[in-house]
Amino acid sequence: MVTLPNIYKSKYARYYIAVPLVLLVFGLYFSTHIVLDSSLAGGVSITLQTSTAVNQQLLASEVSSKLHTTSPSIQSSPGGLTITIAINQSISNAEADLINLYAFNTNYTTSQLNITTTSIALNASRGNQTLIKQLAAEQQLENSSLAGMRTSLTDELSMLQPFIGSKTPQSDATPSEILAMAQGEYANASAVYENQTISAVRDIVPFTTYSYQQLTPTLGSFFLGQLEYVIIIAFIIISIVVFFIFRSVAPAFAVVFGAANDMIVAIGAMGLFGIPLGVASIGGLLMLIGYAIDTDLLNAVRILKRHEGAPEDRAFASMKTGLTMTVAAIVSFGVLFAVSLYAYVPTYYEISGVVLFGLIGDIFTTWLGNASIVLFYKKRKDKV
């Protein structure tokens, strides 16, 4: 049986950190090449599974002519191609009206609650001028909010007329009826637009199956902002928890560095291999953070919390355990990645690609970077 040498007993062990740093530079450089898919950038993304060879420049011209859009994006995908076009302006404007309607509805609901509360207080203190003025102000806000909902619905229906025909809301419609009509007609118009788009694409290029994603720029920007917020909060919580476990900055830094570096490496690989950044791949990145924290904590706990043998031996033992876990995960996601390439399931392709490349980067980041930092800290601490 072959016995592997303990790499942490080498005199060059302190230089292992250079490898994840190189990967960090790689990730940062290629991250500038990353492309947002329609789930974040907004627009319509149609992924086709087709074996027909196409001239992308000619196809872009035909798509532009058929769908009355400018600068469509045509990208070759495993098993087919992806067509991305700007969202129809009427649909986009209608969504803005729908968002305004939601805001007016929130104001209306709030004013109703305030009216009820103020009326109860006024019954207990009749003639209170402050409460009377407050009640009048809330009633005025209620009326203006209801008027705003009706105006927003009228504007939305006007924008959606090319898809749903001419529709007029009832003048005495309640707020709940206004909201239901706005949501229903927007969904109907989006379905009609999807059918028209797919029909036009089918006339241009034959395909067996397709996936269709539609997102307006407003909602895409909102999703992107929320996802960035979630990732930042996740790292803050991780830092606090790890600091609480070890009561020291160095191990906390090593764990956070490992997770962040894995994510940056994965994003760089996405830019290099053309995996788009979307809601699905963001899910893969969040999953990757969990894997990275798992191996980093395994390493740090064994080196700092246990006492059997030398720190280098404990680090080497944790590496063998961690590599077994990571390789098993790499094989699993590698199979999923291969299957998604063959059948071309975009969601699985994005998730498995992100996690797969991130786990490969995790091998170098954790066992050459994180372990080196924690070992250096442990030796310095023992000398004190």
Task: Kindly report the CATH number assigned to the domain that includes residue 371.
Answer: 1.20.1640.10
**212 pLDDT exceeds 90?**
no
Residues 290 and 339 in one domain: yes
Residues 325 and 281 in one domain: yes
Model confidence at 345, pLDDT cuts 50, 70, 90, reads confident
The pLDDT of residue 161 = 94
**350 pLDDT exceeds 90?**
no
Q: Which domain-ending residue is among 215, 240, 261?
A: 215
**152 pLDDT exceeds 90?**
yes
CB 78 within 8 A of CB 64: no
Residues 44-63 have pLDDT tens digits of 888 888 777 777 778 888 88
Residues 54 and 198 in one domain: yes
The span from the CA of 28 to the CA of 361, in Å, is 13
Residues 68-124 have pLDDT tens digits of 777 677 777 666 788 888 778 888 889 889 989 999 999 999 999 999 999 998 888
State which residues form the domain around 110: 45-215
Residues 141 and 204 in one domain: yes
Residues 30 and 169 in one domain: no
**217 pLDDT exceeds 70?**
no
Tell whether the torsion through CA atoms of 352, 357, 358 and 360 is positive or negative: positive
The pLDDT of residue 1 = 44
Residues 117-142 have pLDDT tens digits of 999 988 888 888 888 899 999 999 99
CB 50 within 8 A of CB 207: yes
The span from the CA of 367 to the CA of 16, in Å, is 9
User: Does residue 146 lie in a domain region?
Assistant: yes
Residues 291 and 160 in one domain: no
User: Does residue 107 lie in a domain region?
Assistant: yes
User: Does residue 342 lie in a domain region?
Assistant: yes
The order of strands in the sheet holding 80-85 is 73-77, 80-85, 43-49, 209-215
Residues 332 and 297 in one domain: yes
The pLDDT of residue 218 = 66
User: Does residue 164 lie in a domain region?
Assistant: yes
Enclosing H/E stretch for 189: helix 175-204
Q: Could you tell me the CA-to-CA distances from 144 to 57, 137, 139, 212, 262 in Å, in that order?
A: 52, 11, 9, 39, 51
To 10 degrees, what angle do helices 18-31 and 346-364 make? 150
The span from the CA of 357 to the CA of 326, in Å, is 12
CB 300 within 8 A of CB 374: yes
Domain count, the chain: 2
**214 pLDDT exceeds 90?**
no
The pLDDT of residue 187 = 93
The span from the CA of 38 to the CA of 69, in Å, is 15
The span from the CA of 325 to the CA of 146, in Å, is 58
Residues 203 and 339 in one domain: no
CB 204 within 8 A of CB 50: no
Q: Which domain-ending residue is among 199, 215, 231?
A: 215
Against a cut of 0.85, is the pTM above it?
no
Q: Please give the single-letter amino acid code of residue 311.
A: P
The token pair that represents 59 in the structure block: 């196809």
Residues 228 and 266 in one domain: yes
User: Does residue 239 lie in a domain region?
Assistant: yes
Residue 345's CB is within 10 A of a number of other CB atoms, namely 20
Residues 117 and 28 in one domain: no
Indicate the range of 27-31, 99-103, 134-138, 276-280 predicted with least confidence. 276-280
User: Does residue 1 lie in a domain region?
Assistant: no
The pLDDT of residue 206 = 84
User: Does residue 2 lie in a domain region?
Assistant: no
Q: Which domain-ending residue is among 193, 215, 237?
A: 215
Indicate the range of 1-5, 14-18, 219-223, 299-303 predicted with least confidence. 1-5
User: Does residue 59 lie in a domain region?
Assistant: yes
The span from the CA of 349 to the CA of 319, in Å, is 29
CB 160 within 8 A of CB 189: yes
